[in-house]
Amino acid sequence: MENRNQIAVFGLGFVGLPLALSFAMRGAKVVGVDIDTRLIQELNQGITHHLEAYQGESIQEILKTQLAFGRFEATADPTAAMEKCNSFIVTVGIPVVDGNGYMGHLESVSKTIAKGLKKGDLVVIRSTVVPGTVRSFIQPILEESGLKAGEDFFLGYASERIAEGKAFDEFENMPTLVSGVNEASAKATEKLLKIVTKAEIVIASSIEVVETSKVLENLSRDINIAMVNEFAKFTKKMGIDIFEVIKVANTHKRVNLLYPGPGVGGYCIPNAFYYLKPRADELGVGLELSAAARAINKGTPNRVAEMAVKNLQVAPKDAKICILGMAMKDYSSDDRMSPALDVIEALQSQDIEVAVYDPAIPAQHPYLADRLEDALQNAHGIIVLAKQDGIDFDKLEYFRGFMSGDKPFIIDTRNIYCKELVEGKGFVFEGL
């Protein structure tokens, strides 16, 4: 089988960049392709804001090393990339807009690849998609090249299963599911992934099986979190700690409850329901449990905002609230679809001034403060939404010195604080 060491990765985001570098670290020649010219310029200068590491080496160090060795380069020119490569990996996603998946980005990259596709090339889709997308949507576009999938070129699907912050390790050690339009495509995909993956690679019977399993993996977490977010309201009324309840329950060997939070963020889990729903509607299958879970998690940021409003000692229009951590999860630089954005919107809808401190977020927001002290200044309360290494949450007395009112509040959604300790420092405390 043809050597697959010349690889183009389309999409250099939180999945694509560490995947591209994972291949480069193992000797492959990798061209990363993205339409964001500013991103391309930064990457070729060795700049990235991702919080990833591998065996003690940061992604920034890995990027600079692979650039120096000539094993990785970034470009906005797909034609040049495809001329150099014979394997193409697509990590471009399907954003959800108003509850509907937008296929435009995936369509565009598929058309781009079709224009440069050569006999013997391998195309691997690693995006999370609506089940049936590869065969019914992507394959026909690629075959506009005049080449036939499974005969003239290989077409495979491998679901992406990494967690941000653990990408390098999980690309290497997470069991991986693959399939293809035929056996030869599945085998070619398996061979390519074995350059990086040491764990078991399972070849499933069809692309549709892998597409569906990926959506269900994400949806199962949405449902699990919805259950504990709902149950947190019960334990709160009972006067007991939901985090302790879950810790105790998880001592059962067949129980694995996740922890509640201010909602469910990121690009994967919140979108899973919307990836499955179009196909379910087509088939006339109801998704009542999944829909209910999505509604619970989507509504949780409003519940957090309501806690804050309830604890204000001034009118909302006169209030300022400091939010600590706005990433979509702890120790992340990704604020896409973060529940923090919904908490902020809910507070601002009541004319409350919001100031946010999160040193890991590179994105620009008008309410994002450069310094912790600026976010705390004259605030009437704090909402903790994400843990970050650049925030010292233990400095309660320091926080208090900048804040307004006799009894500012702290709402802790991440189980950082002990209630007695916080109240002993002069705060009103509320947890989930």
pLDDT tens digits, 262-274? 999 988 899 999 9
**According to the model, what pLDDT value does residue 1 have?**
45
Radius of gyration of the chain (CA): 23
Write out the residue range of the structural domain in which residue 173 sits: 6-205
Q: Are 388 and 331 in contact (CB under 8 A)?
A: yes
- Are 165 and 259 within one domain? no
| Domain end point (choices 181, 205, 229) | 205
Q: Would you give the end-to-end CA distance of the chain in angstroms?
A: 55
Q: Are strands 72-75 and 29-33 parallel, antiparallel or unpaired?
A: parallel
The stretches of 91-241 forming alpha helices (DSSP H) are 104-116, 133, 139-142, 167-173, 183-193, 207-238
User: How far is the C-alpha of 426 from the C-alpha of 406, rounded, in Å?
Assistant: 8
- Are 387 and 413 within one domain? yes
- Are 315 and 264 within one domain? no
Greatest CA separation for the chain: 74
User: How far is the C-alpha of 95 from the C-alpha of 276, rounded, in Å?
Assistant: 13
| Helices 288-311 & 269-283 angle (0-180, nearest 10) | 140
**According to the model, what pLDDT value does residue 119 have?**
96
**Which single residue is written with the structure tokens 């802790």?**
412
Is residue 1 one of the residues assigned to a domain?
A: no
**Which single residue is written with the structure tokens 């959506």?**
215
Catalytic positions, please? 268
424 three-class SS? helix
Q: Are strands 6-10 and 29-33 parallel, antiparallel or unpaired?
A: parallel
Neighbours of 248 (CB within 10 A): 11
| Domain end point (choices 174, 205, 236) | 205
Residue 219 is part of a domain; what is its CATH number? 1.10.1040.10
Q: Are 355 and 367 in contact (CB under 8 A)?
A: yes
Give CA separation, 265 vs 297, 301, 386, in Å. Answer: 9, 10, 11
- Are 22 and 82 within one domain? yes
The 8-class DSSP code of residue 144 comes to G
pLDDT band at 2 (very low <50, low <70, confident <90, very high): low
Q: Are 262 and 232 in contact (CB under 8 A)?
A: no
Is residue 179 one of the residues assigned to a domain?
A: yes
**According to the model, what pLDDT value does residue 99 have?**
85
Q: Residue 406 contacts by C-beta under 8 Å, 6 or more apart in sequence?
A: 313
- Are 225 and 351 within one domain? no
**According to the model, what pLDDT value does residue 230 have?**
96
- Are 200 and 287 within one domain? no
Give CA separation, 35 vs 38, 73, 103, 113, in Å. Answer: 9, 14, 16, 14
Domains held by the chain: number? 3
Q: Which whole number is the average pLDDT over 230-254?
A: 96
pTM over 0.85: yes
- Are 104 and 183 within one domain? yes
- Are 134 and 197 within one domain? yes
- Are 41 and 148 within one domain? yes
Tokens representing residue 249 in the block: 């329950």
**Which single residue is written with the structure tokens 């990086």?**
196
Tokens representing residue 37 in the block: 């010219």
Residue 308 is part of a domain; what is its CATH number? 3.40.50.720
Neighbours of 140 (CB within 10 A): 12
- Are 137 and 123 within one domain? yes
pLDDT digits (tens, 9 = 90+) for 331-371: 999 998 999 999 999 999 999 999 999 999 988 899 999 99
pLDDT digits (tens, 9 = 90+) for 265-301: 988 899 999 999 989 999 999 999 999 999 999 999 9
| Domain end point (choices 294, 327, 343) | 294
- The pair phi, psi for residue 403, each rounded to 5°, is -95, 165
pLDDT digits (tens, 9 = 90+) for 190-239: 999 999 999 999 999 999 999 999 999 999 999 999 999 999 999 999 99
- Are 53 and 193 within one domain? yes
**Which single residue is written with the structure tokens 């004259």?**
378
